Amino acid sequence: ARLDQGFRQCFQAILGNNTTSEVTFSKSSSSYEPLLNSSIRNARFLSSSVPKPDLIVTPQSLFHIQVALLCSKENNLEVRVRSGGHDYEGLSYVSHVPFVIIDLINLRSITINMDEESAWVQSGATVGELYYAIAHKSKVHGFPAGSCSTMGVGGHFSGGGFGTIFRKYGLASDNVIDAQIIDVNGKILNRTLMGEDLFWAIRGGGGSSFGVITAWKIKLVRVPSTVTVFDVSRSLEQGATDLFHKWEIVAPKLPAELFLHVVVGVSNSGSQGGKTVVVSFTGLYLGTAQNLLPLMQNSFSELGLQRNNFTQMTWIQSVLYFAGHSINELEVLLRRNQTSSSFKAKSDFVKEPIPLVGLEGLWNMLLLENSPLLIFTPYGGKMSEISESETPFPHRKGNLYGIQYSVNLGSKEEAPKHLYWIRRLYEYMAPYVSKLPRQSYLNYRDLDLGVNQRKMDYETAKSWGLKYFNKNFERLTQVKARVDPGNFFRDEQSIPPL
Ligand code: FDA
């Protein structure tokens, strides 16, 4: 309690009583719990046994952030910055030492400049709000970020950010052209002032090691006025294994305009009502159904797609479609509230097609679990044209596809069983995925890969740092040493200063 009082006194001395009670919330405030829980996307971290922040600050201006950093330092409180709260391991709102959350919920303006085909987006905006704002201005512009509309721009952009048009345009972070960050000394820096190495680091290296990124300037991309989507599913009995094997070879080589990902789960629709694996092939084509039909028939005829499998729509409708919403309800994109389940996820990258025997073993693993969900995302296209060192995100040329494994953890009592299963699955996949290092996607944060100890050291951090960043890890530690040598911005997987 003393720490939060000290913080509030410090805040009050600079900003006065009114502002302090409007933007700082300690455990005794009735707003504290609803605010804390409002953007917890993994219900695993809602539990009362998870450590809670001493204070939550919801800055309304950059000055409030500067003061919050100062007062945190003075009171030895660690800082966690939260934008959309979608971190898989809850790192934006959980810490095991006394801490403050700087929650950017009030800093979410979006300013679009159609002449320049660019936009400034504050970190507290969601990607849904961004998509909505773009569609409001233009039917032929879009932005290549992820599918889930409630994700925060802050975490998503700083860790990479891929979605249905990334084979054509690259990651969200590949399309950032300027940014605004508040550093450990409270200085507000744009691209010129922060320098190219820090600007490089925050486009894929994760924001939490470097400062509070308050806004991003992005380049909008041009999308056609008509796009086409499709979604077909096949069970094991319907030949899913051979189709998946063909997909592994075909999907990464398709034209960049065509994104064809695969979602795999289990259902009770197998022979005699038994359990089976169901493989869904879901696509987005930046063009018309008429042009897509010959493309699919020539490259992947086994899927047997006909004209009636395709639905034409606008790009913004495809955003709704992939987020699982009705395509005519644009306002859904502005909704920030969200349901959350308790889950664990892990990721991999694949460089050689998995042989049939490997796939059969994988399906057998899935049949052991109630609600496994695997998403296979094809790479290639623009992703292969960007060099591995262009940004900290190293998963470029040579990757056929990425995998996300996830499982619903159910109740607290059931969770260990499901965690055991997903870790075994990860072990099973080792022979078939990238090696030395086995690579992972930072935005699919996985603390199983390793965590910083109290006293951070480079060797420990390498265990996960090389997986997320490969050869870029070293450079990230150098940038960290320059901009935050005292390691103020830290968490379980932040970059240690070299
Ligand atoms: P959150 O606020 O939890 O922050 C994540 C991390 O970034 C934390 O370490 C936090 O401290 C730091 N951070 C946040 N804002 C910051 C700021 N302003 N300055 C400095 N550091 C900051 N990914 C993807 O690429 N494509 C996809 O389609 C999806 N889909 C998806 C669906 C669902 C349901 C979930 C839960 C997640 C995804 N993701 C994803 C993963 C997503 O990209 C990842 O969780 C992002 O980090 C989320 O960003 P938030 O701002 O919401 O998270």
Q: What is the pLDDT of residues 239-297, one digit of tens each?
A: 999 999 999 999 999 999 999 999 999 999 888 778 999 999 999 999 999 999 999 99
pLDDT beyond 80 at 338: no
Q: Which atom of ligand 1 is nearest to the CA of 206?
A: 7
* Model pLDDT, residue 186: 98
pLDDT digits (tens, 9 = 90+) for 426-452: 999 999 999 999 999 999 999 999 999
> What is the structure's pLDDT at 273?
77
**What ipTM score was computed for the predicted complex, to two decimals?**
0.99
CA of 88 to the centre of ligand 1 (A): 8
What percentage of the chain reaches a pLDDT higher than 70?
Answer: 100
What integer is the mean pLDDT of 288-309? 98
- Average pLDDT in the 483-488 region? 97
User: pLDDT by residue (tens digit) across 41-91?
Assistant: 999 999 999 999 999 999 999 999 999 999 999 999 999 999 999 999 999
Secondary structure of the chain as H, E, C letters: CHHHHHHHHHHHHHHHHHHHHHHEEECCCCCHHHHHHHCCCCHHHCCCCCCCCCEEECCCCHHHHHHHHHHHHHCCCEEEEECCCCCCCCCCCCCCCCEEEEEHHHCCCEEEECCCCEEEEECCCEHHHHHHHHHHHCCCEECCCCCCCCCEHHHHHHCCCCCCCHHHHCCCHHHEEEEEEECCCCCEECHHHHCHHHHHHCCCCCCCCCCEEEEEEEECEECCCCEEEEEEEEEHHHCHHHHHHHHHHHHHHCCCCEEEEEEEEEECCCHHHCCEEEEEEEEEECCCHHHHHHHHHHHCHHHCCCHHHCEEECHHHHHHHHCCCCCCCHHHHHCCCCCCCCEEEEEEEECCCCCHHHHHHHHHHHCCCCCEEEEEEECCHHHHCCCCCCCCCCCCCCCCEEEEEEEECCCCCCHHHHHHHHHHHHHHHHHHCCCCCCCCCCCCCCHHHCCCCCCCCHHHHHHHHHHHHCCHHHHHHHHHHHHCCCCCCCCCCCCCCC
Query: What average pLDDT does the segment 120-135 reach?
Result: 98
Q: Is residue 457 pLDDT above 70, yes or no?
A: yes
Atom 5 (ligand 1) nearest CA: 155
- Of the chain, the percentage scoring pLDDT greater than 90 comes to 96
pTM of the prediction? 0.98
pLDDT at 269: 84
Counting from 1 in the atom list of ligand 1, the atom nearest the Cα of 90 is: 3
Out of 58, 66, 80, 81, mutate this one to test ligand 1's pocket (max ligand atoms within 8 Å of CB): namely: 81
Q: Tell me the domains of the chain and their CATH numbers.
A: 2-106 (3.30.43.10), 110-223 (3.30.465.10), 227-313+341-432 (3.40.462.20)
pLDDT confidence band for 160 (50 / 70 / 90): very high
- List the residue whose alpha carbon is closest to atom 49 of ligand 1: 155
Q: How confident is the model at residue 1 (pLDDT cuts 50, 70, 90)?
A: low
Ligand 1 site, CB within 6 A: 41, 80-88, 91-92, 104, 123, 146-148, 151-152, 154-156, 158-163, 207-208, 212-213, 443, 491
pLDDT digits (tens, 9 = 90+) for 167-195: 999 999 999 999 999 999 999 999 999 99
Q: How high is the pLDDT of residue 339?
A: 77
> Atom 6 (ligand 1): residue with closest C-alpha?
155
> Does residue 205 register a pLDDT over 80?
yes
The confidence score (pLDDT) of residue 230 equals 98
pLDDT in tens, 458-475: 999 999 999 999 999 999
**Atom of ligand 1 minimally distant from the CA of 443:** 44
